Amino acid sequence: MDVNRERTLLGIVLWGAAAISAPVTTLMVLRVGGLPTLGVGALSVALFGAALLCTHINQQLDDLVQDDELSDEEWETHFAEESLQCSGLRVLRIGEGSPLKGHISERAVILKINGVCPVTADEANHALVEGRNEIEWMGRNRKPLVAHITTQGNEHDLLAQFEQLNPSPAT
């Protein structure tokens, strides 16, 4: 079964169970009252919470999938709409053992590393320090995000392939 179908099915099941539990909870409160209704009420609240969480997670996954599906031209026009403070580096591929893995998605744009606006991969690697590094980046939604990665010893290589982005001049 397709992952998208599974996610949709999970959402339908959770919202259906939550919708059915609301009238059952009301009926229990009106007929029985007292302590037994607390369990049914808690179940109803838990189902609605799970349904909301499932919907939120599905929306985030849809956004990530959409990020990956944008073509090169769409990315260029998307980031050229507004001028950026830094030109940025688009992450094309993240290599095995990269400190970026799990912190930043491929096709994201790195704006700053430890306050430095890297223009090349070499500058990005030289901006790394031993220990904790702060990386400002953004995805398709253009929301600035911050990732923290840790490097040890002489690990001054992001092990990633980048493409330089040229913003339109600031006005």
CATH 1.10.3720.10 is held by the domain 72-164: no
Q: Confirm if 138 and 108 have CB atoms less than 8 A apart.
A: yes
How far is residue 100's CA from residue 77's CA, in Å, rounded to a whole number? 25
How far is residue 147's CA from residue 124's CA, in Å, rounded to a whole number? 14
pLDDT of residue 61: 77
Q: Where are the domains of the chain?
A: 3-69, 72-164
Q: Confirm if 47 and 56 have CB atoms less than 8 A apart.
A: no
Q: What is the pTM of this model?
A: 0.51
pLDDT digits (tens, 9 = 90+) for 32-75: 877 777 777 788 888 888 888 888 888 877 776 665 555 555 55
Distance of CA 169 to the CA centre of its chain: 29
